[in-house]
Chains A and B, each alone.
Chain A
Amino acid sequence: MSLKLSREAFDDVLKDLGKEYKIYAPIRIKGEGRFSDTDVVRYGEVSGLDEIEIHEKAHFSPKEILFPITQTLFYFTEGEYQEPKYDEKKIIVFLRPCDINGVTRLDQVFLENGEDKDIYYERLREKVKFFMIECIEGFDNCFCVSMDANKTEKYAAAIRFGDDMLVEIKDEALINAFQEKGEFVNFEPTFIQENLVNVKLPDIEQITTETFEDDMWKEYAQRCIACGRCNFVCMTCSCWTMQDIAYDENNSSGERRRAWAGCHVDGFTDMAGGHGFRKNYGDRMRFKTMHKINDFKKRNGYHMCVGCGRCDDVCPEYISFSSCINKVTKLVGEERK
């Protein structure tokens, strides 16, 4: 079912849905960006249409809604432990096709990787409905088309933003909220067909340990500063580490948290005794690259990277991941389709 709604009517629908759902979307926070007099665009809870920022790519991905940056797994007191309260309220997320495809990767990692599911992820994931922001033009550094992540059908609703709002509703649970608020039209979202950046993917059968030792990684050893921005803005980076905290005032109570970890950041491969596997920053770049466009596919049949380009947008040293993929492809040859 597709509808055309005025912006006011759409806003009313959001307010209505807000009673049942927490609604997350990219928002612009004025003046709170990294540099002075700049804004940050990232995910936050919204209560109305005008709060949603659609003209700029969110600097951080929506993964933090499903996989919080830090998350308490349980509290403990002496011999007992307790899980944190579970918020029953359902969730709506406004996001683009690349990011919906990114969630598929997160699902793979947290739900389909071995016998046990990650219940903390699963509990959040089950509550989420996707409101897909139609994305026809993309942004600088996007290469979703090359990664086959420009299209998706996994959405509850698809939205074209404009003077009037066009909405395709797939999820029947949403129909009540929308119908009678607009007029029926024929609308299906269009997906971007070409990005400004194109990537040629490597023939992963040709990637060997020799590829790992190639000189191309030396350049990154010089350029990368191991800040981890690329990991943390990435929609599909899903590594985390455990933090056990004993409260200051009483050491016999505390909590276990998990927190995002990044393979570029110091400490990621630290072992007891001070050993670290990838002290060289070029090795870290290689490790990330190989996970995104080699071994994940060998295991799951599709690439991990969705080509959102946020890593390129954020790198303070102007390291381009899409260029890196192209370099690997130049080294080993292009994938055979």
Chain B
Amino acid sequence: MDINTKKIKKNAYRVTKVRGKTALRIRVPGGHLDVKYFDIIKEVAEKYGDGSVHMTIRQGFELPGIDFDKIPEINRMIAPIIQGLELDYGVSIDDIEGGYPAAGTRNVSACIGNNVCPFANYNTTDLAIKIEKAIFPNDRHVKIACTGCPNDCIKAHMQDFGIIGQVEPIYEASRCVGCEACVKNCKKRVTGALRMENYKVKREEDRCLGCGECILKCPTGAWRRNPEKYYRVVIMGRTGKKNPRLAETFLEWVDEETIIKIITNTYTFIEEYIDKEAPLGKEHIGYIVDRAGYHVFKEYALKDVVLGPKAQVANHIDFGGYKYERNIYFTK
């Protein structure tokens, strides 16, 4: 058997522990899809795989038990999925019958968002799709997820870029009866950014996460939603064998355009600073930022970005997490 593993990996197939068998990963940008695609996934799994499908943590589908020589046939079969879940979203892929043209930049995942969830501050799937359009196909290893609110159900804090919805609550004092529902809730569940003063509510902007809980709790509509959408961007969270850590806030109160721009800018940064001797030419973005430094990354990421008046940028990031083995950071 003569397989170019580099080629098939780039095509979203992988080398598995079973000799001669591969597995295919289907991307589902934004984690939401029409059920009609299940028919194709089912057909591929039954005809070429082992009749099963694994739901990946990134909201894709992985179909195991596939023979390497069936890849071209399968790629033709999944063309409607690539059409519907990539090309129709505006992603450009030259050969629609050739399968996925890249696999390094992982599926952009999303919580269920404001299609369903009352807490979500935006349509997470729609934004994930817009990001997909901007970055796919791309082979660099970048993980992105969109979550509707700081509850962070998608675990945006475990991504290289985690997009967290923010809302600016607008207070109409004359509609407030002073029931304190928002104040009590903010203290219990959030940051305690609200307090009562003379029967009215004061909001400390610096402590406010923009979660929107006050708007949800207000019985008189004294708290309203600014329809303008804002986002917090947390960066360089990761798991892995060296230094697992949660992402830290890079930007807050930025708009959609800024997010797309900083993510696309990041690819330029990667090309410049990636370890040229990294095994198989692969290096996770987080480790590149560790080596180059946050300030260098920031400079690249914010290039040509026009930040809005509410936007805030982290001056410095003190990344936490822990190191399995600290000595790996020293050279004799």
Which A residues contact B (CB, under 8 angstroms)? 29-37, 40, 42, 59-60, 68-70, 227-229, 231-232, 243, 245-248, 257, 259-262, 265-267
Contact = CB atoms under 8 A, between A and B. Distances in A.
Interface string B142-181: 0000001000000000000000010100100111111101
A29, A35, A68, A267, most chain B CB atoms within 10 A: A35
B88 to A, nearest CB: 22
Given A37-B114, A40-B224, A243-B199, A227 B219 contact: yes
B281 to A, nearest CB: 41
Nearest to B215: A34
A49 B227 CA distance: 24
Contact of B114 (A36, A69, A231, A261): A36
A311 to B, nearest CB: 11
Nearest to A258: B177
Q: Which 8 A-B pairs have the closest CB atoms?
A: A31-B227, A243-B199, A229-B219, A36-B114, A228-B219, A32-B224, A259-B177, A245-B198
B44 to A, nearest CB: 35
A262 to B, nearest CB: 7
Nearest to A264: B219
A35 B220 CA distance: 14
A70 B177 CA distance: 7
A229 B220 CA distance: 7
B121 interface: yes
B177 A260 contact: yes
Contacts of A228: 179, 181, 219
A151 B151 CA distance: 48
Contact of B174 (A31, A42, A68, A265): A68
Contacts of B114: 35-37
Contact of B225 (A36, A69, A229): A36
A232 B177 contact: yes
B198 A248 contact: yes
Interface in B215-256: 215-222, 224-227, 229
Contacts of A231: 219
B258 interface: no
B227 A262 contact: no
B178 A243 contact: yes
Interface string B199-220: 1000000000000100111111
Contacts of B220: 60, 69, 232, 260
A40 B226 CA distance: 12
Nearest to A228: B219
A259 B118 CA distance: 28
A261 B120 contact: no
A80 B248 CA distance: 56
Nearest to B121: A36
Contacts of B136: none
Contacts of B175: 69-70
Contacts of A267: 179
B300 interface: no
